Amino acid sequence: MHSPSPIVRRKSRQIHVGKVPVGGDAPISVQSMTNTDTLDVAATVAQIQRLEDAGADIVRVSVPCMDAAEAFGRIKQQVNVPLVADIHFDYKIALRVAELGVDCLRINPGNIGKEERVRAVVAAARDNGIPIRIGVNAGSLEKELQRKYGEPTPEALVESAMRHIDHLDRLDFQEYKVSVKASDVFMAVAAYRQLAKLIEQPLHLGITEAGGLRSGTVKSSIGLGMLLMDGIGDTIRVSLAADPVEEIKVGYDMLKSLRLRSKGINFIACPSCSRQNFDVIATMNALEERLEDIMTPLDVSVIGCVVNGPGEAKESDIGLTGGTPNNLIYIDGKPATKLTNDHLVDDLERLIREKVREKEQAEKDLIARGA
């Protein structure tokens, strides 16, 4: 539980999206995208704040027109999390949001148009210290590449990305990250693996249009998991046809399972069986809902019987093992107290929050001594 991840990450150049470092030795950041109407400033701000509360490091906002650019400026003033503006075709929108304090521009240089337009966008990015994300998608490849390859392929995605990269290289602009997304897991994984060998810039991972909450989570976990295990990836977005907050939750759970991030509670829970001495599923559902606000890293095991319970509990910050007549609580790997089923969730929540406060205070004391 507490040992470092065995994954050796690909070495990449570090850029900054606002206050968030991406690439290099920075933690893999988790991001999502708003699905409100950008012109509805209040609704968009509210959704961004919900995403930030869920732990989002970066949030992307679509800016399809100049009115949306002006709305984006008002949104930016009301939130703390770094914002990426998603822009296609109209380079003037990119110039405007650069003036309004955007933290990153998501563009394809190829669909911005003439060379002087790309040059203007890059100049605005350079002058304002704004990185660019080149976003290639299998569903919107250039027609020329579609004719060349006949259909989207990993090679087509990488060639498209390299064409866009060439635009920036000619302008001596290196502050960018790249994505080569596809809804097909094999295509996306192959494209990212190829691209990782060709450039030093950070890679933004995603399986685009992955599906609904369940199917999209499975597909994204397989695809992104394969790449993350390879050490590839500096920032991720789990694309789900669901509440964007769910994308953040799934993203962090994915990184926690690979020991690449440790924000919030890492639950270890059995699937339950007839040996259980309390309702494991109901207990877990209640705990996950009640403890969503906790961002302090903590390992909590919830095991219904004594077969695996003590072993898991000894490796956790707090462990619950089902027993007769009472359940046993371990704290820091040692038996601490017993709990009945009558108020099990309430008592366990109380112990977890006490442990969180203890860890937070220890961290504050450590910082104070270091200062």
Binding positions: 270, 273, 305, 312
φ, ψ at 302 (rounded to 5°): -130, 100
* Closest to 24 measured CA to CA, from 10, 15, 12, 8: 12
Two tokens at 277? 């001495």
> What's the rounded Cα separation, in Å, for the pair 114 and 253?
42
Residue ranges for the known binding site for [4Fe-4S] cluster are: 270, 273, 305, 312
Strands 318-321 and 132-137: unpaired
CB 318 within 8 A of CB 352: yes
CB 141 within 8 A of CB 160: yes
Two tokens at 350? 């109380």
> What's the rounded Cα separation, in Å, for the pair 352 and 365?
20
> What's the rounded Cα separation, in Å, for the pair 228 and 231?
5
